[in-house]
Structure 1
Amino acid sequence: MSCCSSNGTCSSTAAATAAVEPAPVAVTAVYAVAGMTCGHCEQAVGKAVAGLPGVTAVSVDVRGGLVTVSAGAELDDEALRAAIDGAGYELTGRA
């Protein structure tokens, strides 16, 4: 489910590259996420993923449907799935 109207418009246009507390990066992974169409979607997914324990950086590419996540340890795909699904989008797998 998306926050946007059926024609793909949204009132938010802010960018959502979320940086979290700096730490040595041990793991970076790219995930495919369905349902993102605008800046609000970008912010919602970025905030949901950035709040997970161990995440050090998040970059959301709405046009490509990709979320790049860096963490200090191995990423928990199910925790990421739950955070993204909870924000109203669908993690479809690693890209």
Structure 2
Amino acid sequence: MTAQSDIEIVETSASSCCGGSSCGTGAKETATEGAVTTVYKVNGMTCGHCEGAISSEVSAIAGVTSVSAVAATGLVTVVSEATLDEEAVRAAVDEAGYELAGTA
């Protein structure tokens, strides 16, 4: 008898600036009712390490419940309990070493 499990396959780029040892978060969460989802365009992301750095900094903003950064598109999807102050997001992205271009 075999146990059935739910497996999600995520495709990622093979190249990385950090060799892949600590790249990406791979986190994916489901938005809750009443949550606000905002997609931002970020310049400078090239790999999983970049995604992880941005996700870490943006996740530290009060009210953020989920962050998904995708280097290939330059998009960062943020789910929060309420609308975020764009300057707070800009500061977090700056702290990670990247540039917030605005909402996508």
Normalising by structure 1, report the TM-score. Answer: 0.80
Match in the other structure for 2:17: 9
More strand per residue: 1
Gaps of 5+ in 1: 1-7
Given that 1:19 and 1:56 are in contact with CA atoms closer than 8 Å, whether structure 2 keeps it comes out as no
Match in the other structure for 1:31: 40
Of 53, 63, 80, the residue aligned with 2:62 is 53
Aligned residues: 87
Match in the other structure for 1:44: 53
Letter matched to residue 30 of structure 1: V
* 1:78 match: secondary structure: helix
Within 1, Cα distance between the matches of 2:33 and 2:74?
A: 26
- Structure having greater relative contact order (Cα 8 Å, sep ≥ 6): 1
Structural RMSD (CA) = 2.1
Match in the other structure for 1:84: 93
* 2:45 match: secondary structure: coil
Within 1, Cα distance between the matches of 2:20 and 2:34?
A: 31
* 2:87 match: secondary structure: helix
- Distance of aligned partners of 1:37 and 1:93 in 2 relative to their CA distance in 1, 3 Å threshold: same
Report the identity percentage: 51
Gaps of 5+ in 2: 1-15
Given that 1:31 and 1:92 are in contact with CA atoms closer than 8 Å, whether structure 2 keeps it comes out as yes
> Could you say which structure has the larger radius of gyration?
2
